[in-house]
Structure 1
Amino acid sequence: MKANGERQTFISLYESKHNEKGMVQSHYHETYQLLYTLEGKGICTLNHQAYSIVQDSFIIIPPLTEHSIAATSKMTVLVLEFETTVLSPDVRIELIPEVFRTARVQKLSAFDSSEIRQLLRKMLYEQSHGDRLWETGLKIYMAELFFTIARSTHESTQTDINTLRVEQLKHYIDTRYFDIKHAEDIADRMGISKRYIQSIFKDYYNSTPMQYLTEVRLGLVKQMLAETDKDIVSICFEVGFESLSTFYRLFKRNVGIPPNMYRLTQRKH
């Protein structure tokens, strides 16, 4: 196991390298660990239960969990190790018990996996190149990482791969409507082509992902116009429209009247 850097902190992010048939003997520790498999495959045993691990596997290891790893190929694992004393009270109380409720190999959607990979990259950068605020940055990214895991929808029982992908995509749009700019963003996160995503989504919902995104955004806009006094420009920004003119054009085309007139009609009811 090789650690990157010599800085002393209660948060440590380092890579662990394993040769084919390499073995980390069963052990436990008092710290929390999250392991992410960068490459390779093997078997991870957690409290005497064996799990297969492959590239992009996430392994959740609470304190005092007996665990071992047997590599069946050359394998590199990124290890996040920490003590909760470095985290803010809300993260310790709300997120840590949820994320580390049990030792497991976590199943995440393509979108959540992509999100976590980006957060780990940011953490590696801060640890290696950050300024005097690098530890604060690590804690912020850790909170985002745990929030993503806690919110993940790994309970899905769908067995058809296209159904699962469509449901993951719909959930992603429903919850990240403010963060999507182009269809390519979605395709990149899923690791499949834009044309294929549009095809399977349209088969299930009779619209493209971007058309559904517009429906979600406009539905929220109508709700906020009717129920709040927020400025239209603020509402436009909040739901993810980059251009006010585009927002006005889409709203009038889909609703039939401009947003300010829609607000007036709703207030009369």
Structure 2
Amino acid sequence: MRPGPARPGPARPGLAGRALPVLALLLLAATAGCGIRGTTVPVDAGEAPARASCDVPSDSVPPDGPARTPVQVFLVCGSQIEAVYRTVRPPAKHDSADSPDAADRLRIARALLGELQEEPAPAEQEAGFSSAVPDGLAVAGPQRDDPSGALRLSRLPDELAPFALAQLVCSYSYTAAADEHRRVLLGGPGGNPLRRYECTEELRTHPDSAPTSGSLQPTGGTGGTGGTGGADGADGADGADGKGSADGKHSADNPVGPDSGDEPSRTPSS
């Protein structure tokens, strides 16, 4: 019996046929590896964020008047704090011809604290300014054994955000809330130790250093009279009748406003 014709087997794919699936798999793996899904729709990423100018136009500063006096408060702008101009209601004049007493000093401190707790004005926000000072913070005068120039916050200074503490220190430093050397004596509630702070260039440019920038106030004195007694006698301004400023600018006429000296004043841009 003669064998029949051989049945044809399955056709073997050629080289081109085998290469197409492999190429497709390679392309798929490459697309998945970069994590980007292909799209034919243009993507609008928006404009690049504008850099804060930290300059407030001069015409946005409220004018001063009989019931208002110009001050500088320090706000956060970028990674540092900068001075901006505000106007506040000055404390009532006292009878003494010398510097403001402890009551006036406290009124000044509270007025400035209120300014720091306010929402920055639209022009200030547009220039990149903000404030880190919390709304619930309060300030009180000295306790029984404190020097007369002490200010007691409702929270420990080192518990505040560093930028908030730096804002307070620098805003107080150029007013009668500070001593004649422009140092601010701050403490927390209760009998916590007091610390002296200075608004240095380092503090203004690196506000995160504020919690460690204060020097511990020695205990055991009340500040003396006229800057001669107690542990703080040498400072003068902490006495009962200490001079509010070495150059006399912090007088009964203007205990709140900035003095001349070496303050880091900023001229508003026109």
TM-score by length of 2: 0.23
Q: Which has the higher helix share?
A: 1
Structure having the larger proportion of residues in strand: 1
Structure ranking higher on relative contact order (CA contacts 8 Å, 6+ apart): 2
Give the structure-1-normalised TM-score: 0.23
